[in-house]
Amino acid sequence: MSEEEDDSQKTEDPTDKKLANAKKKGQVAQSMEIKSWMILLGGTAGLVFMAPFMTASIRDTIEPFIRNPHAVPADFAHLLQLVATLSVKIGLILAPLLALLFVIALFSNIVQFGLIFAPEKIKPDIKKVSLISGVKRMFGPRALMEFLKGILKLLAVGIVSFSMALPMLQDLTLIPNYDLAQVMDRINIIAILLAIGTVGVMTVIAALDFAYQKYAFKKKMMMSKQEVKDEHKQSEGDPQIKAKIRKVRMERAQQRMMAAVPEADVVITNPTHYSIALEYKMDDMTAPKLVAKGIDHLAMRIREVAKAHDVPIVENPPLARALYAGVELDEEIPPEHFKAVAEVIGFVMRQRGALPPLEDQAEGDSPVQ
């Protein structure tokens, strides 16, 4: 099957599981333009607030050499030492702005897709150094799109910057008449204006690229109906296997339930369709407990086991149906059934001689309803 045919079958939105697995591998919708835009925006904001300090510091650092050029050493060794010293001083002045840009670069990724730890992304892979794969990446549709996007971005930024800088070019003829402080201030103003214009252009570009990257990533993650079914089977389990597991569990539960019937104190029946086995130990229990229940064939088996172990069987159809519907296995009888169950338990205990007979109840009378 061709790649086009495969893509044509991917008509389903990606599931949360597939997106989560892709994120673990470092596959996310990432826009480099968002990162560039945030760095540029943060750099512009930092430049606006830090520029007075930075320009004054740089001016104070280089002004002595501009005012006294004869103090600049002429030999190469001393000149190299002077350049190194100036570079360190200017680097320290620019360090806060550079640190801000570094933090913004990290934050830009967190904003887009959160924190990701993806060892597979840095794991050595022979495919990544394959010549054929490299050529496909260089000349593929994605590479072409990135190339065209880069050209358009350069043109847009260049046009806006040139349009903003053109009115300022007339100041070049006046620069010889300015002192160093005026020159630094003018450069600061020009830099801020150009940065603001560039930020405006990059805002539009970043928004469009972010939307495109989201669309392209979703398209890449699309799934076929068969992939969705396979994933559902992996997540929820094969229906046939689940049915077998349920059957085994039911059989084991029935075995445990049937093993509890001989220890029951009474079995309440419908008489044919329902059987409910109750256990009540006055010294250990606060209320009778349902130890077995069943309908039809299972109800018959409960009655047979009860008869084989001399467990009393009492016919009370309304109570049997109510207990079957409202009480789960190994649960105590709820208060709303206390009275009816107490009558049955009392009747059985009187039959066994554990309780004295009631004056108004003849011997052998059963609480059948």
- If asked whether residues 203 and 269 sit together in one domain, one would say no
Rounded Cα distance, 328 and 342, in Å: 18
127 inside domain? yes
- If asked whether residues 215 and 338 sit together in one domain, one would say no
Residue 7 has pLDDT above 70, yes or no: no
60 inside domain? yes
Say if strands 313-315 and 266-269 run parallel, antiparallel, or are unpaired.
parallel
- If asked whether residues 182 and 269 sit together in one domain, one would say no
DSSP string, 134-170: HHHHHHSHHHHHHHHHHHHHHHHHHHHHHHHHGGGGG
Q: Any residues with CB less than 8 A from the CB of 11 and at least 6 apart, and which?
A: 222, 224, 225
What's the pLDDT at 137? 64
Q: Any residues with CB less than 8 A from the CB of 318 and at least 6 apart, and which?
A: 340, 369
What's the pLDDT at 303? 92
Rounded Cα distance, 275 and 145, in Å: 73
What's the pLDDT band for 83 if we cut at 50, 70, 90?
confident
Closest CA to 255 of 295, 298, 218: 298
- DSSP-derived secondary structure letter, 363: T
232 inside domain? no
User: Tens digit of pLDDT for each residue in 142-199?
Assistant: 677 777 877 887 888 788 877 777 776 666 666 666 776 677 777 777 777 787 888 8
What's the pLDDT band for 366 if we cut at 50, 70, 90?
low
What's the pLDDT band for 304 if we cut at 50, 70, 90?
very high
What's the pLDDT band for 2 if we cut at 50, 70, 90?
very low
Residue 290 has pLDDT above 70, yes or no: yes
- If asked whether residues 94 and 210 sit together in one domain, one would say yes
Count how many domains the chain has. Answer: 2
User: Tens digit of pLDDT for each residue in 96-127?
Assistant: 888 888 888 777 777 776 666 655 555 655 55
Residue 4 has pLDDT above 50, yes or no: no
123 inside domain? yes
- If asked whether residues 202 and 310 sit together in one domain, one would say no
80 inside domain? yes
Residue 134 has pLDDT above 80, yes or no: no
Q: 127: phi > 0 → left, psi -120 to 50 → alpha, else beta; which?
A: alpha
What's the pLDDT at 205? 84
What's the pLDDT at 45? 80
Rounded Cα distance, 38 and 107, in Å: 9
* Separate counts of helices (H) and strands (E) for the chain: 13, 4
What is the rounded radius of gyration, in angstroms, for the C-alpha atoms of the chain?
Answer: 42
Last residue of a domain, which of 225, 250, 270? 225
Q: Which domain holds residue 329?
A: 242-352
What's the pLDDT band for 135 if we cut at 50, 70, 90?
low
2 inside domain? no
Last residue of a domain, which of 178, 199, 225? 225
- If asked whether residues 187 and 248 sit together in one domain, one would say no
